[in-house]
Amino acid sequence: MKLNRKWLNEEFVDLSQVSDKEFVDTLTVFGQKVETYERMDAEIKNVVVGKVLSMVRHPNSDHMWICQVDVGKEEPVQIVTGAQNVHEGDLVPAALHNSWLPGGVHITKGKLRGELSNGMLCSFAELGLTQNDFPDAYADGIWILNNEDCQVGQDINLVIGNDDTVVDFEITNNRPDCYSIIGLAREAAAAFGKEMKHHEPVVKGSNAGSIYDYLDVEVPATELCNRYSSRMVANVKIGPSPKWLRQRLRANGVRPINNIVDITNYVMLEYGQPMHAFDYRYVSSGKIVVREAEEGETLTTLDGNVRNLKAGMLVIADENRAIGLAGIMGGENSEILDDTTMVVFESANFNGTSIRQTALALGMRTEASGKFEKSLDPMMTIPAVQRACELVEMLQCGDVLEGTIDVINYVPETRTLPLECDKINRLLGTDISKEDMVKYLNLLEIPVEGDQILVPSFRPDLVRMADIAEEVGRSYGYNEIPTTAFKTSTQGGYTKEMKLEAKAGTLCRGMGYSEIITYSFVSPTIFDQIRLPEDSPLRNALRIQNPLGEDTSIMRTIALPSMMDILSRNNAYHNKAVKLYELAKIYLPVEGQPLPEEPKMLLLGTYGANETFFTLKGELEAIFAGLRLKKTSYTAQKNNPSYHPGRCASVSIDGVEVGVLGQVHPLVAKNYGIDTDVYCAEINFTKLMTCLLPDATYIPLPKYPSVSRDLALVCDEAVTVAQAEYVITAAAGKLLRSVKLFDIYRGTGVPEGKKSMAFSLELRADDRTLTDTDSETVVNKVLAALKEKLDAVLR
Amino acid sequence: MKEQLEQIKVNALAALDAAETPAALEELRVKLLGKKGELTAVLKQMGKLSAEERPVMGQLANSVRAQIEQKLEDRKAAIHAAVLEAKLAAEAIDVTIPGETVPLGHQHPMNQVLQEIKDIFVGLGYQVVDGPEVELASYNFTRLNIEEGHPSRDRSDTFYFTDDDSVLLRTQTSPMQIRFMENHKPPFCMLAPGRVFRKDEADATHSPMFHQIEGLVVDEHITMGDLKGALITMMRKIYGADSEMRFRPHHFPFTEPSCEMDMQCHKCHGTGEIDGQVCSTCHGEGWIELLGAGMVHPTVLENCGIDPDKYSGFAFGMGLERMAMGRMKINDLRLIFDNDIRFLNQF
C-alpha cells in the first residue's frame, strides 16, 4: 500500500518536519513495515522552467530552431530544438547541461549540426508523464507551461508535483484498515504521538430529484454481500479532474481518467473502500441486482476481456444482464463515457473470500479485489459514498440526487473488551500504567470508557486481551520492553533416531560420500524409469491434486530415482567420480489412514573408475559396523528389475530385509543418460532402529595364541562363498574364531566349470594353547563337511 | 718384539682408518685379531721371553689389542652411520608430491548450518523433534487459528491430496507446535526443524520445498521480555556476540502479540548505504529480517488443552535456506537442490 507524504501532511497529520528516514524507521518499528520509499523527484535533475526569448532558424537544418532561453540565470542559454509547437514567449521545460530525465537519460551540451545546444526542451513524455496527467498539454511536441502556475527558473519537479515522497508499506492481513490513506495516517499520527485531523464529508445536495425515483437495489446474494450503499449524480459533466487530485492519484500509481472515475479511485485510496460508478443509461429499468452468476454467463469487463463466469461468482446485474463483476471490475456495458450524464455510485461491502476466489479463478486481481479480499469494515460504505458526492460538488461536475439506498445484510456488532492492565503487563513483562495504556489506545482511536475498551468497527482484529497487549506493546515500543531470561529448566536433546542419523552421516562422509537433499515430490514417470513392474505396490503413491507440474506431482514411495536423478545430473556436468548419500523420507500410503507412513531411507549412490559392487559393499559393511548393527547377511537378488540381475543383493539383519544393494541395471542407468556402471544401496533406515546391537561391554582379550589354517578348495562354480562359510562355520565348532575368504582362482590346475576358493580359518581356545592335533581335528571335520555338503575338496 | 707390537699397532690403526666398508673392517679384524692374525702370531712368541720381560710385553700386547679393538668399534660405528646416512640420502623423496587421496564426503551446506543451530538449542535445553510432512489441515491451519478461507489455504499456495482439502503438504513447521503440545505438559522447550512446501515455482529465491526451524517454549509466567531475551541470546550465538537486534510488530494468526526480529546489517551498520551506494547486503534497509515470533496465541493453547490463564509461551520460526545462503554467500537457491558435487565439495 502506497502513501505519499504530501497528502498525509496536507490533510491528516503534518509530519513535514520529519525526515523520510525517520518517518520510515518510526513506522516500521511501530508495526507498519515500509518495504521501499522513493523521492518522486529522484529521477529528474536539473530541469527548470525556461522562457523562450527568441527563435531563429538553424542555418543547416530546415526544421530545427535555435532558441535563446531564459532559465532564471544572468545569461540566457542557447538550446536547439526540432519541435515545431514552440513560440517566442512560451514557458517550457528546459533540461540544462548535465541534467537527468526518467529512465536514466543524461543530457549534456553538444553541437547539433554545428550549432551549440546547452540542453534540451522537453515533452511531457520525456518527463515521465502521460496525457492523463496533464490533459490540456499538447502531446506531439514540447510541453508548453504557459497555463501552469509556474515561474522561470523553477525546478520542473515542483510544477509536476514531484516534491513528494512515496512510501510503500507491507500491510499485514489483520489490518485491512491500513489499506487506506486514512488508516495509515492514523498509524502515522499514533507512531509520532500526534492527533489526527478528521474530515466528515458534507453533501449539500441539489434539487435534481431523488434517487428513489430512479433506482431500485435488490441483494438476493445475502451471504456474499454484507452491505450495498449507493447514491446518484445527475447532470454530470465529464471532464478532467483538477491538478491537485490528479497529482495525488499519480503519486499513488493511479492513472487519472476523468472526474467521475477519478473520484471513485480517490475515495478508494483515501478510505480504502473500493467504489464503482455506473452510467445510469445502461442500468436497464433502473434496477441493480446483486446476485450470483449463472454457470456460463459472460461479461465483458472494462479491460475489454470477455469473462466466462461460473455459478457462485458474485455479479452486479441490472434486470437483464451482468453489468459488473462485484468487487473486481466493472462491465464495459455500463462504463462511464464522455457523454455520461447520470451516474450511480456503488459503495458496497462484499464477502472477502468470495471476491478473492473469483479473482483468482478469473486470473484478474485488481486494486479493488485486493482490498475486498482482506474483509473490509462494512461501516465504511456510507462515509465513502458521501465523500464521493462531496467531491462531485467540489469539482462541480454534477448534481447529487437526494437520498441514499443502503441495503444491509449483516448485524453490526459492537464489541467491548475489559482493559486488563495486570494481565497485559504480565504477558509483556512490563510495568505500564493504566493511564499510559489508555493514552496509547486513544492515539490509535480506540476509545476506552472506564475499564471497557470500545472496539471500533475498523479494528475487527481486536478480540481478546492478547490483541490489546500487542497494541499497548507496540505503542510502548517492542524494543523498550526489558529483555529477560526465563527460568524454565529443561533437558535438551535429540531423539534416538536423530542420533543414529547423525552417526550414519558421519560414517558415510568418512567413506567419501557427500550428502544431497532432494525433493520429496517426483514425477510419476520414475516408476518406468527404474523399470518397476506395473503391479508393484510402490506405484501406489500419494498424488498432489494441484501440483506445480507433472514432474513434481506424486510423493515418492522409493528414493532410488531421486538419487539417480542427481547422479545423472552430475554425470551431465562431467563430474568423473561421484559418491553421494541421502537420508530421504519416502511416503507410503496406509489403507484407511489419512496420513502416510514416512520412513527414512539411507541411499548411497556412486559411479567412477574404481567403483565396483564390492567397494560399495565394503563401505556399507563398514557403515553398518560403525552403527553397531547386528549381523548382516547378503543374498543374491536376481529379480529386482532396477538392478543388474547378477550383481544385486538383498540386505537382511536378523532375518528382516532392510534393503538392497547392487549395480544399477544398465537399462535404468541408460534411462538416466548414464553410460557407465552405477552402484546404489537403498537401506530402510527406520528399520535399522530395531537392528542395533546392545550397548558394548568388555570381552576379555585372548590369553592364548590362535592358530591359522589356510584351505584352498576346489568346487563347482555355483557354490557361493556364503555357502562355504556356512558349512565351515557349522562344522568347525566353537574353536573357530573367524573364517575369511582371501582368494578365488580359476584357470590352470582347476578344471573347467570349477573354481578354487581359499579361506583362512582362525582357531583359538580360551583356556589353553591349541595343539597340532586340535587343529587337525577341526580341519578334518571341516573338509569332510565340505566334501559332503558342497562336493568341495582340497586343491 | 716391542717394536713389532708398536709396528702392528701403527699399521693396524692406519689400516682401520682407511677401511670404508663393514666387509673391509671384518677382513681387518680377522687379519689383526683372529687366531691366525698378526697379533696372535706375535703373542705366540711370548714364550721366548724372559720372566722379567714377559709381564711387560704382555701388558703392552694387551694394550695394543685394546687400542685396536677400540679403534675397530669406533670405525664400525662410523661406517654404519655413514652407510645409514647414504641410505637415507638415497631414500629422499619430493615431499610436495600430493598424498594418496582418501575420499572425504561433505555434509550438505544446509545441514551444516542446521546442525550448528540444533546444537545451540540443545545446549539451551531444547528438545529436538521431527514430524510428518504430509499433514492434516487441522494441524497445519485450523488449530493454529488460521480460519477457513484464509489466503494461505488457497490451492494456489498449498499442495493438497484430497478433494476436501483435509490432507496437505505442510506449509510450515508450526503444526509441530500442536503435535508437541498434544503429547507434552508444560514446561517444555521444543525445536522442530523440517521440510515445508509451498506452491512457488523454483527460481533464485523460491523453491516449492524448503526448510524451517520452529521453536516453542511454554511455562507459567513466560513474557514477551523472555521471548526477546531468548531470541537475542540464540541469534548472538549464531551471528556473533556484537550483533544488534531489533523487534518489529508483525502478524501471525497463531501468535499474539507477534513480531519479527531483524539484525542490523553488518555491512553498512544500519545506514543502508556504503560509499553513497545502496548496500547490496540489506538492499538499503539497514536491517536483515531473521525470523518471525510471538507469544503463543491463547486460542492455540486452548486448542491443545493448555490453560492460557495459567500458562503462556512463545514460538518462533525461521527459514533455514535464507540463513545458509546468507552465511555461505550462496546467491541462487536452486544450487541447494541441484546437488552438483562441485558445489557440495566447497563446504
**pLDDT, tens digit, for every residue of A743-775?**
999 998 899 999 999 999 999 999 999 999 999
Q: Which of residues 19-78 of A touch B (CB under 8 A)?
A: 28-31, 33
Residue B101 belongs to some domain of the structure: no
Q: Where are the domains positioned within chain A? A: 2-40+164-191, 45-160, 211-408, 415-480, 496-688, 707-794
| Average confidence (pLDDT) over A22-33 | 95
Distance from CA of A496 to the nearest CA of B (A): 10
**Same domain for B127 and B196:** yes
Confidence band for A576, pLDDT divided at 50, 70 and 90: very high
Q: Do B225 and A428 touch (CB under 8 A)?
A: yes
**Same domain for B182 and B124:** yes
Q: Which of residues 368-397 of A touch B (CB under 8 A)?
A: 373
Confidence band for B33, pLDDT divided at 50, 70 and 90: confident
Nearest of B234, B264, B310, B312 to residue A483 by alpha carbon: B234
B341 contact residues in A (CB cutoff 8 A): 514, 570, 573, 575, 578, 580
Distance from CA of B102 to the nearest CA of A (A): 8
Q: Do B133 and A598 touch (CB under 8 A)?
A: yes
For residue A28, what is the nearest residue in chain B, using CA coordinates?
B248
Q: Tell me the C-alpha distance between A433 and A498, whole Å.
A: 48
B136 contact residues in A (CB cutoff 8 A): 594-595
The one-letter amino acid at B323: M
**Same domain for B116 and B60:** no
**Chain B contact for A556, CB < 8 A?**
no
φ, ψ of residue A398 in degrees (nearest 5)? 165, 170
Residue B209 belongs to some domain of the structure: yes
B123 contact residues in A (CB cutoff 8 A): 492
Confidence (pLDDT) at A304: 93
| Digit-coded pLDDT (tens) for A703-752 | 999 999 999 999 999 999 999 999 999 999 999 999 999 999 999 889 99
A356 contact residues in B (CB cutoff 8 A): 149, 151, 154
**Chain A contact for B337, CB < 8 A?**
yes
Residue B197 belongs to some domain of the structure: yes
**Same domain for B251 and B114:** yes
Residue A531, SS3?
Answer: coil
| Digit-coded pLDDT (tens) for A381-403 | 999 999 999 999 999 999 999 99
For residue A423, what is the nearest residue in chain B, using CA coordinates?
B309
What the block records as the C-alpha cell of B189 is: 522447550
**Chain A contact for B334, CB < 8 A?**
no
B185 contact residues in A (CB cutoff 8 A): none
Confidence (pLDDT) at A413: 83
A519 contact residues in B (CB cutoff 8 A): 208-209, 337
B162 contact residues in A (CB cutoff 8 A): 545, 594
Confidence band for A282, pLDDT divided at 50, 70 and 90: very high
Q: Tell me the C-alpha distance between A47 and A142, whole Å.
A: 14
Of B169, B307, B341, which to mutate for an interface test with A (greatest number of A Cβ within 10 Å)? B341
| Average confidence (pLDDT) over A673-682 | 96
Report, at the CATH architecture level, how domain A707-794 is classified.
Answer: 2-Layer Sandwich (3.30)
**Chain A contact for B156, CB < 8 A?**
yes
Last residue of a domain, one of B90, B125, B152: B90
Q: Which CATH superfamily is domain A211-408 in?
A: Phenylalanyl-trna Synthetase, Chain B, domain 3 (3.50.40.10)
| Digit-coded pLDDT (tens) for B136-169 | 999 999 999 998 888 899 999 999 999 999 999 9
Distance from CA of B45 to the nearest CA of A (A): 59
Residue A75, SS3?
Answer: coil
Indicate if the pLDDT at residue A361 is higher than 80. yes
Closest CB to A495 among B103, B128, B258: B128
Confidence (pLDDT) at A380: 95
| Average confidence (pLDDT) over A646-653 | 96
Residue B104 belongs to some domain of the structure: no
Residue B146 belongs to some domain of the structure: yes
Q: Tell me the C-alpha distance between A326 and B259, whole Å.
A: 35
Q: Do A488 and B222 touch (CB under 8 A)?
A: yes
In CATH terms, are A2-40+164-191 and A415-480 the same topology?
A: yes
**Same domain for B114 and B85:** no
Confidence (pLDDT) at A400: 97
Burial class, B13, CB count within 10 angstroms (exposed 0-12 / middle 13-18 / buried 19+): middle
Confidence (pLDDT) at B282: 84
Q: Which CATH superfamily is domain A45-160 in?
A: Nucleic acid-binding proteins (2.40.50.140)
CATH class of the domain comprising A496-688: alpha beta
**Chain A contact for B263, CB < 8 A?**
no
**Same domain for B121 and B86:** no
Distance from CA of B113 to the nearest CA of A (A): 13
**Same domain for B164 and B18:** no
Confidence (pLDDT) at B42: 79
Closest CB to B341 among A352, A469, A575: A575
Residue A712 and residue A757 in contact, taking contact as beta carbons nearer than 8 Å: yes
Total of domains in chain B = 2
Domain span holding position B191: 109-344
**Same domain for B134 and B283:** yes
Confidence (pLDDT) at A487: 84
**Same domain for B305 and B175:** yes
| Digit-coded pLDDT (tens) for B35-88 | 888 888 877 887 788 888 888 888 888 888 899 889 999 999 999 999 999 999
**Chain B contact for A590, CB < 8 A?**
no
Q: Do A595 and B134 touch (CB under 8 A)?
A: yes
Percent of chain A residues past pLDDT 70, beyond the cut: 100
Q: Do B222 and A573 touch (CB under 8 A)?
A: no
Of A168, A487, A488, A619, which to mutate for an interface test with B (greatest number of B Cβ within 10 Å)? A488
Burial A541-576 (b: 16+ CB within 10 A, else e): bbebebbeeeebbbbbbbbbbbbbbbbbbbbeeebe
Confidence (pLDDT) at B266: 84
Indicate if the pLDDT at residue A149 is higher than 90. no
Indicate if the pLDDT at residue A372 is higher than 80. yes
**Chain A contact for B221, CB < 8 A?**
yes
**Chain A contact for B136, CB < 8 A?**
yes
**Chain A contact for B311, CB < 8 A?**
no
**Chain B contact for A85, CB < 8 A?**
no
- Please name the fold of domain A2-40+164-191: Phenylalanyl-tRNA Synthetase; Chain B, domain 1 (3.30.56)
Query: Given the DSSP bridges, would you call strands A119-121 and A91-101 parallel, antiparallel or unpaired?
Result: antiparallel
Q: Do A552 and B163 touch (CB under 8 A)?
A: no
Q: Do A509 and B121 touch (CB under 8 A)?
A: no
Confidence band for A136, pLDDT divided at 50, 70 and 90: confident
Q: How many residues does chain A have?
A: 795
Interacting residues of A54 by C-beta distance below 8 A, sequence separation 6+: A67, A68, A88
Burial class, B184, CB count within 10 angstroms (exposed 0-12 / middle 13-18 / buried 19+): middle
Indicate if the pLDDT at residue B129 is higher than 90. yes
Task: State pTM to two decimals.
Answer: 0.85
Q: Which residues pair with A415 in a beta bridge?
A: A455
**Same domain for B84 and B204:** no
**Chain A contact for B161, CB < 8 A?**
yes
Confidence (pLDDT) at B56: 85
B199 contact residues in A (CB cutoff 8 A): 546, 548
Burial A147-162 (b: 16+ CB within 10 A, else e): ebebebebbbbebbbb
**Chain B contact for A704, CB < 8 A?**
no
Q: Tell me the C-alpha distance between A509 and A514, whole Å.
A: 6
Interface A-B, measured as beta-carbon pairs within 8 A, has a size of: 250
Of A174, A470, A582, which to mutate for an interface test with B (greatest number of B Cβ within 10 Å)? A470
The CATH number that applies at residue B266 is 3.30.930.10
For residue A481, what is the nearest residue in chain B, using CA coordinates?
B225
**Chain A contact for B3, CB < 8 A?**
no
Burial B161-170 (b: 16+ CB within 10 A, else e): beeebebbbb
Confidence band for A556, pLDDT divided at 50, 70 and 90: very high
Query: Given the DSSP bridges, would you call strands A754-763 and A736-745 parallel, antiparallel or unpaired?
Result: antiparallel
**Same domain for B86 and B118:** no
Percent of chain A residues past pLDDT 90, beyond the cut: 92
Distance from CA of B339 to the nearest CA of A (A): 6
Sheet holding A165-170, edge to edge: A2-4, A165-170, A33-39
B298 contact residues in A (CB cutoff 8 A): 464-466
Last residue of a domain, one of B63, B90, B117: B90
Q: Which ipTM value was assigned to this complex?
A: 0.85
**Same domain for B85 and B128:** no
Residue B315 and residue B216 in contact, taking contact as beta carbons nearer than 8 Å: yes
Interacting residues of A21 by C-beta distance below 8 A, sequence separation 6+: none
Distance from CA of A676 to the nearest CA of B (A): 17
Q: Do A356 and B297 touch (CB under 8 A)?
A: no
Distance from CA of A401 to the nearest CA of B (A): 39
Q: Which of residues 458-517 of A touch B (CB under 8 A)?
A: 464-467, 469-470, 473-474, 478-479, 481-486, 488-495, 497-498, 502, 505, 508-517
Q: Do A544 and B169 touch (CB under 8 A)?
A: yes
Q: Tell me the C-alpha distance between B91 and B87, whole Å.
A: 6
The one-letter amino acid at A72: G
Q: Do A353 and B225 touch (CB under 8 A)?
A: no
| Digit-coded pLDDT (tens) for B245-261 | 999 999 999 999 999 99
| Average confidence (pLDDT) over A660-681 | 97
Confidence (pLDDT) at A384: 97
CATH class of the domain comprising A415-480: alpha beta
